[in-house]
Amino acid sequence: MATNGVPEQLDMDTTTKTGLTIVRVTEEYDVVLRIGRPPDIALGLSSAVLRAASPVFAALLGPHFAEGQSEGTTDEPKEVTLQGDNSEAMSDICHLLHNKTIGTVITRLVKNPQSARIHQLAVVIDKYACTEPLTLHTQALLLGYLDSHYGGLAHLGNIAAAAYMLDHGRAFTIATRRLITRCNEPYSDLHKSNGSHALPVTALLAMEEKRTAAQRKLARDIMLFGAPHCSHAKACNNHDVSYYDNICTVFQVRHWPPSFDLEGKNISSLITTVKKVGTVWRENPSCDHTGTMMEVQAAKFWTLAEEIESICEGLCLQCVRSGAADLKSKCTEKAHA
């Protein structure tokens, strides 16, 4: 939030001219950006820095727009009003472009769970075509946030969408993997909250398919572990109540397979439990035809956990951008790494 024209939590140098409080991002500023409606903040900036960093700013401050018809000075800076932009995000991007308080901006956004503000920053970086000069800044921001916070659907959705707009493949893969493994909510909620700046629908569908495939494999394979197939013509009923009771106890569910949404069990927690299951005993031998299997060994559960982890790999950013037909399978393109 902005207070008296200065965004919250920033220690900024300000000056007042003709009743307007200006945040001096750089001492030798010759242009003032007035952001918001009514203006939430006025930023004193270098037009040379803005032109060099952004073709959009270069055009806005060029001779084809009214704002660029004359050169400003520190004593008489030209004013440009941008009513449709987010004041906090514009303050952040301008400080980063001018190499001012970079550590403060990044650290504040990383240490505080402000995924929405990071998403807004990505929106204005994309809008003003500043992705390339801010590549290292935004990489540190996104990966730093992911290292510090796990977040829920909304937070991870903001970070994944920001990584998509900023073209950061590693952050995108990590964020989409966590969306698959740590969230049970419908991914369509992300499109409702972020609108045109959300993840592509193809990515949302691919994550849903991956999550569903992982849940089905987990439920099916654990059931099959307890009921070995009988090759005899008449086939035996290998169902063993004690095995399923043990499984339900281990996973703390009322029945198997569980209702993942209702039980509140995300895939990440289930994978952790599968790896810790250990050996599970049956009460009775499997059957006279398949042998006397009395136990399901821990190694089978561990292997299953690894197979589920493979299904839940995060999405490849370049595959999503290129409109690849199959986003569910692991990307094998070396150029996308």
Q: What are phi and psi of 24, to 5 degrees?
A: -85, 90
pLDDT band at residue 136 using 50, 70 and 90 as cut-offs: very high
Tokens describing residue 222: 């654990």
Q: What are phi and psi of 20, to 5 degrees?
A: -105, 125
pLDDT band at residue 54 using 50, 70 and 90 as cut-offs: very high
Average pLDDT in the chain: 83
Tens digit of pLDDT for each residue in 138-150? 999 999 999 988 7
CATH of the structural domain 2-182, one choice from 3.40.50.970, 3.30.465.10, 3.30.710.10, 3.90.650.10? 3.30.710.10
Q: What are phi and psi of 22, to 5 degrees?
A: -110, 130
Task: For 86-129, give the DSSP string.
Answer: -HHHHHHHHHHHTT-SHHHHHHHHHHTT-HHHHHHHHHHHHHTT
Contact 117, 62 (CB under 8 A): no
b or e along 6-42 (b: 16 or more beta carbons within 10 Å of the residue's beta carbon)? bbeebebeeeeeeeeebbbbbeebbbbbbbbeebbbb
In the chain, % of residues over pLDDT 70? 80
- Whether 324 has a pLDDT exceeding 50, the answer reads yes
pLDDT at 164: 96
What is the mean pLDDT of the segment spanning 114-143? 93
Closest CA to 316 of 326, 306, 307: 326
Q: Helix, strand or coil for residue 259?
A: coil
Distance CA 179, CA 174 (A): 9
Task: Name the pTM for this structure.
Answer: 0.84
Tens digit of pLDDT for each residue in 222-270? 988 877 666 666 667 666 678 888 888 999 888 888 887 767 789 999 9
pLDDT band at residue 3 using 50, 70 and 90 as cut-offs: very low
- Whether 16 has a pLDDT exceeding 70, the answer reads no
Q: What residues pair up with 45 in beta bridges, in sequence order?
A: 31
Q: Where are the domains of the chain?
A: 2-182, 209-311
